[in-house]
Amino acid sequence: MSLLSPSRRLRETPFSAGVKAAGVKAYTVYNHMLLPTVFDDVERDYHHLKNHVQVWDVSVERQVELIGPDASRLMQLLTPRDLTKMQDDQCYYVPIVDQKGRMLNDPVAIKHSETRWWISIADSDLLLWAKGLAIGAGFDVEVFEPDVAPLGVQGPKAGQLMERVFGPEVHDIRFFRHKRLPFGESSFIVARSGYSKQGGFEIYVEDRNLAMPLWDALFAAGPDLTVRAGCPNLIERIEGGLLSYGNDMSMENTPLECGLDKFCNAPESVNFIGKAALKAEAEAGPKRKIRAVAIDGDPVSATTTAWPLNSGETVVGQITSAAWSPDFQTNVAIAMVDAGFWEAGTSLTADTPEGQRTATVQAGFWK
Ligand code: THG
């Protein structure tokens, strides 16, 4: 792979100056925007994330804002997850599916009030789907992408660092809840959430001019915590089973295949897109499922394609993400595995770029 050519379509973020100064080594493109993928190297980034605290430019988690009298109706139409009991300070991980029950995105929905929501999207143009549905349904709601840039603070020392910048109130924020906390003359919505299993927060920056002051304040507060710039880490997210839309699943897959059944819990009285299709699939059972898979042998390298998973001569699935895990001393992987082959302990073979390897279905992710 060669370097990315810069142009306006490849959006920088309000934290790009900080990311560059911190020595970013590689980016990917996500929601038409730059997402850092490596600072030191993926393994050193991983060890640091699991032991200390990192500041992540996750501006690519773009928001789709819904505002107006029908905002909550639109949000519920968009997802099979039951939103009826959701409070104004909650965040929910929500599958979004089409009329066939196929995954369009797996965002975090942030409820501000009955009339205002943010949908913190994964890598697909959900804005277009939401706008189309709103118009088609004749709803009274505005749907747009506000200029909001989330900043992640992730790792076991995240609470300590956040307390130094925002005060002890950070500890009152429960998992997947949010609260507005002061910062100088201004304030930010701070949530206890993030794309790692190490614990942490996400700070939603609504004023670009406050992005670098916030970045600098976090770094100034934590030299003794060895705070450094980081990013979602491939190894850590596979160990933890955090799915990546476009990698581990796509518009081909259903939430049941993706193991997101528990987030398809809207009661019979609630209407949402894909309802009949998901009901039929729940009765018949999914054709394949996401599984944790361990791949034997030396470290495997990343590619842009999925790798076939075989049982003898038959292809029975694909490896969608894989990386060497220093902590578990095996290649950890996420795979989509056909019915009949997804039981824990099933021994398969994977066609990796380094050749054919034994791949064993695990009982669960590693964490
Ligand atoms: N935070 C925010 N926006 C995001 C992401 C995020 N948008 C893009 C992407 N990540 C969306 N995908 C995910 C995938 C997993 C989780 C969040 C967003 C996640 N899952 C937890 C888990 O699986 O353990 C918790 C799920 C739950 O119990 O509710 O956090 O990271 N703002």
> Which residue, chain included where needed, has tokens 């009329």?
99
What's the 319 CA to ligand 1 centre distance in angstroms? 21
339: pLDDT strictly greater than 80 = yes
C-beta separation of 57 from 43 below 8 A: no
CA distances from 304 to 15, 170, 296 (A): 27, 39, 21
Structure tokens at 17: 């100056």
Q: List, for residues 22-33, the tens digit of each pLDDT value.
A: 999 999 999 999
Q: Does domain 16-58+148-237 have CATH number 3.30.1360.120?
A: yes
Confidence bin at 353 (pLDDT 50/70/90): very high
* Cβ of 258 less than 6 Å from ligand 1: no
DSSP character for 79? -
230: pLDDT strictly greater than 70 = yes
Q: List, for residues 138-192, the tens digit of each pLDDT value.
A: 999 999 999 999 999 999 999 999 999 999 999 999 999 999 999 999 999 999 9
Ligand 1 atom index nearest CA of 241:
23
CA distance linking residue 363 with residue 345, whole number of Å = 8
334: amino acid identity, one letter: I
Q: Average model confidence (pLDDT) for the chain? A: 98
Q: How many CB atoms lie within 10 A of CB 301?
A: 10
Q: List, for residues 90-102, the tens digit of each pLDDT value.
A: 999 999 999 999 9
What's the 240 CA to ligand 1 centre distance in angstroms? 12
C-beta separation of 143 from 137 below 8 A: no
Domain with CATH 3.30.1360.120 in the chain: 16-58+148-237
Confidence bin at 367 (pLDDT 50/70/90): confident
Structure tokens at 230: 């980081």
Q: How far is CA 288 from the centre of its chain?
A: 22
Domain with CATH 2.40.30.110 in the chain: 287-367
Q: What is the arithmetic mean of pLDDT over 9-28?
A: 97
Tell me how many degrees the CA angle 205-112-110 measures, rounded to the nearest 5. 70
> Which residue, chain included where needed, has tokens 């075989």?
310
C-beta separation of 349 from 310 below 8 A: yes
CA distance linking residue 36 with residue 136, whole number of Å = 37
Confidence bin at 1 (pLDDT 50/70/90): low
Percent of the chain exceeding pLDDT 90 equals: 98
Structure tokens at 204: 């939603």
Give the helix/strand (H/E) hosting 179: strand 178-183
C-beta separation of 230 from 45 below 8 A: yes
Fold of the domain spanning 287-367: Elongation Factor Tu (Ef-tu); domain 3 (2.40.30)
327: pLDDT strictly greater than 80 = yes
* Cβ of 236 less than 6 Å from ligand 1: no
Structure tokens at 180: 């507005």
> Which residue, chain included where needed, has tokens 């992987």?
333
Q: What is the arithmetic mean of pLDDT over 226-248?
A: 98
What's the 120 CA to ligand 1 centre distance in angstroms? 9
Supply the pLDDT for residue 2: 67
Domain with CATH 3.30.70.1400 in the chain: 63-146+254-286
CA distances from 278 to 65, 80, 95 (A): 26, 9, 12
CA distance linking residue 283 with residue 285, whole number of Å = 6
Q: How many CB atoms lie within 10 A of CB 169?
A: 13
Fold of the domain spanning 63-146+254-286: Alpha-Beta Plaits (3.30.70)
What's the 195 CA to ligand 1 centre distance in angstroms? 6
